[in-house]
Structure 1
């Protein structure tokens, strides 16, 4: 069953930042995960370059627990593994999941601005990947 559109629906749908923040906050508020250490599984990983003619975006979010400050970082590399573009942004005081999702948002925004069409993305936040 469809609900009638409201002014709020139109405002949010035209602003991707609000959509991202709303989705992260909604997920976080209903999440029942209490012990995140139980979900962590150590893996030995190595960065692999993308296929010839493609680019790879690696993003990550970070949080300083004592301050609650978060940030997001990302790098785009070519198929030779060369650094092509990157970004780092301070996002104020929020939750780590928001930092991870914002990192993906800013990374994709950078790729679009640079005209990249063949892009592989990697991030270490499984929850953020599931949200997307």
Structure 2
């Protein structure tokens, strides 16, 4: 069995905010170095900005992976502002 702490994982995240209501939701998936699925997650946030939704998606994904024993995480996001 592979020790999760020694394995690199890729965390793909996204956040979305409805223009009419301002309600936001987030989600993401984690994949190993060959692209095999490890886990997925999603969460309703309520009202927040697109920036906040993107940050929450990354934070939730990192916390879930750390809880599962993964310590080497590459974050993949489509939001340049958050990445900087």
Scaled to the shorter chain, the TM-score interval is 0.7 to 0.9
Structure with greater proportional helix content: 1
Q: Deviation at 1:126? A: 1.0
Q: Deviation at 1:67? A: 1.2
The gaps in structure 2 that reach 5 residues or longer are 1-6
- Relative to the length of structure 2, the TM-score reads 0.86
Counterpart mapping for 1:100-111 below 5 A: 100-111=54-65
RMSD: 1.0
Which has the greater radius of gyration? 1
User: Which structure is higher in RCO with an 8 Å CA cutoff and minimum separation 6?
Assistant: 2
Structure with greater proportional strand content: 2
Number of matched pairs: 78
Moved over 3 A (4+): none
Counterpart mapping for 1:1-132 below 5 A: 53-130=7-84
Q: Tell me how far apart the structure 1 counterparts of residues 43 and 71 of structure 2 sit (CA, whole Å).
A: 23
